[in-house]
Chain A
Amino acid sequence: DAGVTQSPTHLIKTRGQQVTLRCSPKSGHDTVSWYQQALGQGPQFIFQYYEEEERQRGNFPDRFSGHQFPNYSSELNVNALLLGDSALYLCASSLWRDLRVSGANVLTFGAGSRLTVL
């Protein structure tokens, strides 16, 4: 049973460029959340997708956008890259109904995509 897979694992971009990161959720999961983990910090919530819609968003600028596809996979796009966007980007998947049942859904994380902006 495959877990959460993310690609690419590492990438280097320059300031002003655009980047797209990809995520395939764990088999059976229908909800995808994205987190940014800067060096020496805990992960910070970017946004969450369910049924191809953004359901919740953290405190990130509009340069950060996303998409969810009918097969539940997801993309994170960042435009006009800044040096401060250098981080590990984590994708996490879960089941939307778990939230309805228990009041909290347990996230399964991928290994992340490490973005370096020069």
Chain B
Amino acid sequence: AQSVTQLDSQVPVFEEAPVELRCNYSSSVSVYLFWYVQYPNQGLQLLLKYLSGSTLVKGINGFEAEFNKSQTSFHLRKPSVHISDTAEYFCAVIRYGGSQGNLIFGKGTKLSVKP
């Protein structure tokens, strides 16, 4: 079975500072990896995904993530955050070749950007 651990439940950061949101996964098989963002009172929006190819994935709003198979990690980064990035971020996995649509999510990391 797959599982996802988001190591920080809350991350406070000042505007224009860099940020890294950590995600580790556990799986005995290959997985696809996703990051979603949830703004207050809204649904989930896809930030980026890793299916195959380059391990550095670029997403929307200036975010990027790097897949590290040996460390089973998929950390999300942004070099300079804005107030508008304040939201909850979820890392998720799908087992390769199966679990159609059955995303397994972490518990989320609340990013709070302060002026």
Chain A contact residues, CB within 8 Å of chain B? 4, 31, 33, 35, 40-45, 48, 55-56, 58, 90, 92, 94, 96, 99, 102-112
* CB-contacts of B90-115 with A (<8 A): 90, 92, 94, 96-97, 99-108
Contact call A110/B43, Cβ cutoff below 8 A:
yes
Contacts of B103 in A (CB 8 A): 35, 43, 45, 107
Given contacts A110-B43, A111-B42, contact A42 B99 (CB under 8 A): no
Contact call B105/A99, Cβ cutoff below 8 A:
no
Interface centre among B41, B49, B97 (most CB of A within 10 A): B41
Interface residues on B, range: 20 to 34
Contacts of A111 in B (CB 8 A): 41-43
B43 touches which of A33, A41, A90, A106 (Cβ 8 Å): A90
Chain B nearest Cβ from A53, distance in angstroms: 12
Residue in B closest to A94 when the chains form the complex, CB atoms: B101
Contact call A56/B100, Cβ cutoff below 8 A:
yes
15 extra A-B contacts, CB within 8 A, seeds A107-B101, A109-B45, A112-B43: A31-B100, A40-B107, A41-B107, A42-B4, A42-B92, A43-B90, A45-B103, A55-B100, A56-B100, A56-B102, A99-B100, A105-B101, A106-B46, A107-B103, A109-B44
Residue in B closest to A40 when the chains form the complex, CB atoms: B107
Chain B contact residues, CB within 8 Å of chain A? 4, 32, 34, 36, 41-46, 49, 51, 90, 92, 94, 96-97, 99-108
B104 touches which of A4, A41, A45 (Cβ 8 Å): A45
A102 touches which of B36, B42, B51 (Cβ 8 Å): B51
Residue in B closest to A32 when the chains form the complex, CB atoms: B101
Contacts of A56 in B (CB 8 A): 99-102
